[in-house]
A and B are shown apart, each in its own frame.
Chain A
Amino acid sequence: MSNVCREQDLDALLAGELSLADAERVRAHSETCAACNHALAWLKLERGWMAQRARRMPARPALNFAALEARLAAANAPARPASAPGVASRRSERATPRRRSDWSHRAVMALGAVAAVSFILFSVTQVRPVHSTEELWSQDVLASGLLQACVDPSGEAVAALEDRFSACLIASPAVPTY
């Protein structure tokens, strides 16, 4: 088969897709070309077989419009409680993803609630006063009984205490009373 006559042209000729001029040109060539005749014979065979096959369509339930109507009714009225068996099976198929999405939505909501409660609890525990290292040191010294607690922030009390030990022992002039 030469470039003058391609199988696609022959196919288009059989399909009636060519203009009258092109159809005439391809037809005239194919009548004198052995390769085109060969290809045309196969193309006609395929088309002929397909046409016969199409005419032998079996009676199938899918081709019953009543069945389709039931499905359309089910699709348009998803909240109806009762329906035909075929419709019910379809609805159950359709309901599965929705149910799954409901559950995932609820799981996200629960996770959010847990996160919020955790945050609140964490925040409450953080309200306790955190003392600096220095304060802890001074508290330890006071707790050991070596020093009297400087409850009186006045300069006299501090000076008296420091006089007793001849040194400045407490960097912080007072320990908070709370």
Chain B
Amino acid sequence: MFAARDDAPEAEAHEGERALLRRARTGDPVAFRLLFERHSPAVWRFLKDSFRDEAAADEATQETFVRAHGRLATLRDEDRLASWLLGIARLVFLEARRSRGVHLDVDGEESEGLVEAVLPTPTPEDLLLDRETEALLTQALGHLTEVRRSALLLRIDHGLPYEEIAQVMGWSLPKVKNEIHRARLQLRERLAAHVGGRS
């Protein structure tokens, strides 16, 4: 039911990735291609959620990997390749926004006063993400401020630990926890009408 810590498969995957990374650093194009194929879908998804524009996400994904290719030697912690790539992706996103003269939205006030207790409890039937629900989810994510949405997705979509999210976002650890908590409450409030007891 719950995921308890079983390090064996994860460690094996990390070891495989470390080996690929070392080969890519020596200029092995096959290794870099494998890393690209492994991580580019997540990077694209993160950028698409940030821009909310698929074409912009395409361009930014390519730019992210061009930069990553040139800076592989600067990656200190080989176990943090995913968060390193997502950090580059976020920088690319911010630069693109700045070059377009778009200012980042500030933290929203919408979440203030949310009461978790009023939310319905999801049922197992709710777990299926049909097209309608996916559209609703996308809409609900879109109502979050960009920074809050990014922080939340780095956690629930990309599975980054809070410490790595803090690095990617340039925030303190308490702020990361607070923003993700607020983002969750906001998201749940938006989705509440669609889950729990719908039939």
- Residue numbers of A with Cβ under 8 A of B are 7-8, 11, 13-20, 23-24, 27, 37-39, 41-42, 44-50, 52-54, 56-58, 60-63, 65, 67-69, 71-72, 75
Contact = CB atoms under 8 A, between A and B. Distances in A.
Given A57-B44, A75-B70, A45 B156 contact: no
B2 A72 contact: no
B69 interface: yes
Interface in B1-58: 2-6, 10, 29, 33, 36-37, 40-42, 44-45, 54, 57-58
Q: Interface on chain B toward A: helix, strand, loop, or mixed SS?
A: helix
A75 B65 CA distance: 12
Interface of B: 2-6, 10, 29, 33, 36-37, 40-42, 44-45, 54, 57-59, 61-62, 65-66, 69-70, 116, 119, 121-122, 126-129, 133-134, 137, 153, 155-157, 159, 161-162, 177, 181, 184, 187-188, 195
Among A37, A49, A67: residue with most chain B CB under 10 A? A49
Given A14-B2, A16-B4, A68-B62, A60 B177 contact: no
Contacts, number: 112
B5 A16 contact: yes
B41 A45 contact: no
Nearest to B70: A75
A72 B69 contact: yes
A23 B61 contact: no
Nearest to B10: A16
A8 B161 CA distance: 11
A3 B36 CA distance: 42
Contacts of A46: 156, 184, 187
A37 B1 CA distance: 13
Contacts of B45: 53-54, 57
B41 to A, nearest CB: 5
Given A23-B2, A50-B156, A75-B70, A42 B37 contact: no
A46 to B, nearest CB: 5
A75 B159 contact: no
A11 B184 CA distance: 12
A41 B197 CA distance: 13
Given A27-B2, A42-B188, 14 more contacts: A8-B162, A8-B177, A8-B181, A13-B2, A14-B3, A15-B3, A16-B4, A23-B2, A45-B122, A46-B184, A48-B127, A50-B156, A50-B157, A68-B65
